[in-house]
């Protein structure tokens, strides 16, 4: 009997260790994936951002020297400051425009659509069945002077024949808002759909009118969706370069276009890497500040 007790204790300890280790084994594939496809590229980009071009490198494929030149960050930031400012400005305006369009849409789907709810949700995501570039090109055709929209505005004397609806900042902002609209709509719908209708009815029982109920009850309860939607819209919009390349001009260049050009055309990898890191860190700081101010720290 004395020998059986230690054996049971050993089996109990072994079983406990297996239970404790099981979650870590389940997490191992995901951790390896992150290490291989996230951490490793980040470290490689960080290393490249502190390199300089070798002085005697005259070929197209330049040679870089690792001398930990951290001044790259400041030099390239000052050089590309207008593009950074323009990127955050356009992304902010596009986010506000997308929110103004998506909130009524999500509200209508959540509370007013009835049996058409699933159909409307499919229509929201249907444009994503098509390529991002094709959708942007289609938007360029919609805003062109040969399209019926421009001709209708011209017949109403709202625009002149010399006016262009494309190749300007307005077209870029509208294109950004359009392309990322589902990213705003779906989180808003998810947040609004979880609101208990009895809460809204209780507000009416307390003599609140529709606007007061919306302002005091609906909006606060939907804030997690607002925060999630604005983040999902602002972050990719700030680094986008497709819309400004197709819908903009040389005066609407965003930082994503600069980074893309440095990687694929100029082959200045240190500059592209440094600008990428600056963009990533700036967005991270802005996101953390925004989430804390909005009081939804649980989203990050």
Contact 125, 186 (CB under 8 A): yes
The confidence score (pLDDT) of residue 205 equals 76
Determine if the pTM surpasses 0.95. no
The confidence score (pLDDT) of residue 66 equals 85
For the chain, the domain total comes to: 2
The helix (H) or strand (E) run that includes residue 45 is helix 40-49
Mean pLDDT, rounded, for 154-181:
86
In this predicted structure, the answer to whether residue 43 has a pLDDT above a threshold of 80 is yes
The helix (H) or strand (E) run that includes residue 88 is helix 81-111
Q: Are 161 and 232 within one domain?
A: yes
Q: Are 243 and 104 within one domain?
A: yes
Mean model confidence pLDDT for the chain: 85
Q: Are 34 and 134 within one domain?
A: no
Q: Are 244 and 103 within one domain?
A: yes
Q: Which residue has the tokens 């808003």?
A: 188
Between CA 98 and CA 186 the distance in angstroms is: 12
Mean pLDDT, rounded, for 183-212:
87
Q: Are 176 and 61 within one domain?
A: no
Lowest mean pLDDT of 63-77, 151-165, 238-252, name the range.
Answer: 151-165
Between CA 222 and CA 71 the distance in angstroms is: 44
Structure tokens at 107: 């509200």
The confidence score (pLDDT) of residue 97 equals 96
The confidence score (pLDDT) of residue 1 equals 47
Q: Are 58 and 81 within one domain?
A: no
In this predicted structure, the answer to whether residue 3 has a pLDDT above a threshold of 60 is no
Provide the 10 A C-beta neighbour count for residue 73: 17
DSSP state for residue 61 in the 8-state scheme: S
The confidence score (pLDDT) of residue 206 equals 80
Q: Are 151 and 240 within one domain?
A: yes
Among residues 30, 47, 66, the one where a domain terminates is: 66
Q: Are 109 and 30 within one domain?
A: no
Between CA 149 and CA 147 the distance in angstroms is: 5
Burial class (CB in 10 A: 0-12, 13-18, 19+), 54: exposed
Provide the residue range defining the domain that includes 264. Answer: 74-299
Query: Between 236 and 3, where is the model more confident?
Result: 236
In this predicted structure, the answer to whether residue 239 has a pLDDT above a threshold of 80 is yes
Q: Are 60 and 137 within one domain?
A: no
Q: Provide the percentage of residues in the chain whose pLDDT is more than 70.
A: 89
Between CA 161 and CA 235 the distance in angstroms is: 36
In this predicted structure, the answer to whether residue 157 has a pLDDT above a threshold of 90 is no
Mean pLDDT, rounded, for 192-205:
85
Interval 259-277: pLDDT, tens:
999 988 888 899 999 999 9
In this predicted structure, the answer to whether residue 20 has a pLDDT above a threshold of 80 is no
Between CA 244 and CA 251 the distance in angstroms is: 10
Among residues 66, 83, 108, the one where a domain terminates is: 66
Helix 269-294 with 71-79: angle, nearest 10 deg: 80
Measured in Å, how far apart are the chain's first and last C-alpha atoms? 55
Contact 236, 180 (CB under 8 A): yes
Q: Are 187 and 289 within one domain?
A: yes
Q: Are 128 and 57 within one domain?
A: no
Q: Are 85 and 159 within one domain?
A: yes
What is the CATH number for 203?
Answer: 1.10.3720.10
Q: Provide the percentage of residues in the chain whose pLDDT is more than 90.
A: 44
In this predicted structure, the answer to whether residue 143 has a pLDDT above a threshold of 60 is yes
Among residues 66, 94, 114, the one where a domain terminates is: 66
Lowest mean pLDDT of 48-57, 67-76, 102-111, 281-290, name the range.
Answer: 48-57
The confidence score (pLDDT) of residue 4 equals 55
The confidence score (pLDDT) of residue 18 equals 65
The confidence score (pLDDT) of residue 213 equals 87
């Amino acid at each position: 009997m004395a020998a059986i007790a230690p054996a049971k204790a050993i089996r109990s300890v072994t079983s406990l260790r297996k239970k404790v280790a099981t979650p870590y084994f389940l997490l191992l594939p995901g951790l390896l994936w992150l290490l291989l496809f996230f951490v490793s590229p980040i470290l490689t980009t960080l290393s490249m951002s502190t390199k300089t071009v070798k002085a005697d490198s005259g070929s197209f494929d330049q040679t870089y020297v690792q001398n930990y030149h951290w001044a790259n960050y400041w030099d390239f930031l000052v050089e590309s400051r207008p593009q950074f400012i323009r990127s955050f400005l356009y992304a902010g305006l596009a986010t506000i425009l997308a929110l103004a369009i998506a909130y009524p849409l999500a509200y209508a789907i959540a509370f007013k659509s009835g049996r058409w709810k699933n159909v409307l949700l499919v229509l929201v995501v249907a444009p994503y069945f098509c390529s991002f570039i094709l959708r942007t090109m289609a938007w360029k055709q919609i805003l062109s002077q040969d399209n019926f929209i421009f001709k209708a505005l011209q017949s109403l004397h709202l625009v002149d024949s010399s006016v262009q609806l494309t190749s300007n900042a307005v077209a870029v902002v509208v294109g950004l808002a359009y392309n990322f609209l589902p990213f705003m709509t779906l989180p808003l719908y998810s947040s609004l759909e979880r609101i208990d209708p009895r809460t809204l009815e209780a507000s009416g029982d307390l003599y609140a009118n529709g606007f007061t109920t919306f302002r005091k009850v609906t909006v606060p309860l939907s804030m997690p969706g607002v925060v999630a939607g604005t983040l999902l819209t602002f972050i990719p919009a700030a680094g986008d370069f497709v819309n400004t390349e197709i819908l903009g001009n040389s005066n609407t260049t965003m930082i994503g276009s600069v980074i893309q050009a440095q990687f694929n055309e100029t082959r200045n990898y240190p500059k592209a890497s440094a600008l990428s890191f600056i963009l990533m860190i700036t967005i991270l700081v802005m996101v953390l500040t925004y989430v804390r101010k909005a009081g939804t720290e649980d989203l990050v």
